[in-house]
Structure 1
Amino acid sequence: MNAITLTIPRLSAKGFIELCKANQDLQLELTATGEVIIMPPTFSWTGKQNSGLNAQLWNWNDKTGLGIVFDSSAGFTLPNSAIRSPDASWVSNERWEALSESQQKEEFSPVSPDFVVELRSSSDSLKKLREKMQEYIDNGVRLGWLIDSTTKQVEIYRPGQDVEVFESPATVSGEDVLPGFVLDLNKVW
């Protein structure tokens, strides 16, 4: 169950929105080069892991009120024109409130999340996920985690720094991007 990539010449952002509306049962992303990626549903186990991750992020945000949490169904328009859907993401209140109401509610919001997580499932290409993580960082994401539950490895992405890799960590910190947030990976593995 690998993702399928289609190349649709001259597909605009509006055209992609129309494509998504006409195919609401599909999980789609648009690359900066105009390729449409059709992603299969995750396996049940990956969905369980992602729920544990999102619940912890949501609970932290509910206590702090510092931003908005998004699940894997939310798409964002990055500065390079790609439309991406991280498995979990967070945008600070300041950056979210700078968007117009239509940008918040009726579009793939034109904002790079401050924080993103990609959770690797058994059908995901590690190479493609690493490229996607770098794309996030290159487009303004301040902190990103690539979590591979099969190998129990976490890769931490930050602007202007080398990727940091942790083997079987019990927790990872949201650092100064998500102050006080610590993800308990025992609830994700």
Structure 2
Amino acid sequence: MILNNASMAAVVLHWPPSLHIADEQFFDLCQANKELRIERTALGDCEIMAPKGGGTGWRNLNLAVQLYNWAEQDGSGVAFNSATGFTLPNGAIRSPDVSWVKRTRLAVLTPEQKQRFLPLCPDFVIELRSPSDSIKTLQDKMQEYIENGASLAWLIDPESQRVFIQQANKAISILDKPKFLLANYLGFRLELQKIWEVGF
């Protein structure tokens, strides 16, 4: 299968029950196809995403840099980019655009576990909508993070300049054209002006 359209939506590959892929085999599949972003749903299907366009890539990097810089100063957790896979409690394997995990949770992992998909759900995730992404699909993914242990999930839509905020036991909050976002329980502030306006 060749995916060469940077703006195409994800391709879903359905696996019959007789071809169940173990976590180790799925990890090897992803390593053999590093040019693609591949996730596994809780039902075992593979979602294959082609590389994104320049605007989305630039925004993703900006998000990662802002979270990384804060995490390095704060010291209580570790920031990860979209190349990191997480095996959620429901069996899904996801790679959010940007995520953060408390150091205390990472400290109990073995060196071998740290070299593969991390066996936990991030505490905080950010997803950035690209032009080909469905808002509904991304909202469902954000809800999956919350149901699997994330405390906070932000979905950022540059096209409409809206942000969808999901937290455990709370209704979704929607912000229109905010200049910044504040994760109160973390103390992280995300500046959004550079996300709304691509810098090249």
Regarding TM over 0.5, the answer is yes
**Residue of structure 2 in register with 1:175 after alignment:** 184
**1:47, 1:166 → 2: CA distance?**
23
Q: Does 1:42 align with 2:49?
A: no
Structure 1, unaligned runs of 5 or more: none
**Residue of structure 1 in register with 2:3 after alignment:** none
Aligned-residue identity in percent = 46
Deviations 1:138-176 (A, max 9, x none): 000110000000000001110111011100011111111
Return structure 1 stretches of 4+ with deviation > 6 angstroms. none
8 Å Cα contact 1:53-1:187 kept in structure 2: no
Structure 2, unaligned runs of 5 or more: 1-7
Report how many aligned residue pairs link the two structures.
186
**Residue of structure 1 in register with 2:31 after alignment:** 21
**2:173, 2:28 → 1: CA distance?**
39
**1:73, 1:131 → 2: CA distance?**
21
Q: Cα RMSD between the aligned structures?
A: 1.0
**2:35, 2:194 → 1: CA distance?**
29
**1:151, 1:138 → 2: CA distance?**
26
Q: Equivalences for 1:1-189 in 2 at 5 Å?
A: 1-9=8-16, 10-105=20-115, 107-176=116-185, 178=186, 180-189=187-196
Deviations 1:51-84 (A, max 9, x none): 1111111111111111111001110000000000
Q: TM-score, normalised by structure 2?
A: 0.90
Partner AA of 2:129 in structure 1: R
